[in-house]
Amino acid sequence: MAWVLTDQTHKTYLARRLEGEPWEHLDSKPKAWLLPGTQGGWPIGIQGSWPYPAIAITEGGPDFLSAFAHAYASGVEDRVAPVCMPGATPSIPDDALASFRGKRVRIFTHDDDAGYRAAKRWALQLRGMASKVDGYRFDGLTQSDGKPVKDLNDLLRIDYDCWEQNQAVVESVMSFARQEAH
């Protein structure tokens, strides 16, 4: 059993197993699988982002779904469009860049080398296109099981004491969507 993300463009189909285990039938045993015929770098949700002043770029399906939860919890679900890059490897396709024009964009960086490289590459692509681009990192935050918060999905499982000590940082996760355009 699996869940699959796509959008109205049907350019990308990103599949994950329900129990979170890797796809055993694929040589590299990935957790996420781009179904055959998929345009692997297409940002899921970008076409539907036009009415929103802000875009939350996430890497992968769980963070994409978590962006909706964080937007709702922050009261900005009507101001921010979550957009999913299917992984850290692809760049934003040239034909999708215009959709970021004039938007405030926050890149939710995975806490690993591939995530930092992807965030830097995407930010450089968006320079001069978006009205503002920044990133959000999870440095020093821990989950309730004691593991570090490494991405937006992990932030949903933040330890209560950690949340209390870092409340301003945690609650700023969607603050970019409240800011007025310059």
Q: pLDDT by residue (tens digit) across 36-85?
A: 988 878 999 999 999 999 999 999 999 999 999 999 999 999 999 999 99
Cα dist from 129 to 14, 60, 102, 153, 155, whole Å: 26, 23, 6, 27, 29
- pLDDT tens-digit profile of 124-181? 999 999 999 999 999 999 999 999 999 999 999 999 999 999 999 999 999 999 876 5
| pLDDT for res 46 | 96
CATH dotted code for 45-177: 3.40.1360.10
Structure tokens at 123: 């930010």
On average, the pLDDT of the chain sits at 93
Structure tokens at 66: 């978590």
Q: How many CB atoms lie within 10 A of CB 100?
A: 23
Instruction: Name the helix (H) or strand (E) containing 125.
Output: helix 113-126
Instruction: Break the chain into its structural domains and give their ranges.
Output: 45-177
pTM of structure: 0.93
The residue count of the chain comes to 182
- pLDDT tens-digit profile of 86-100? 999 999 999 999 999
Question: Taking Cα atoms as reference points, which of 159, 158, 155 lies closest to residue 174?
Answer: 155
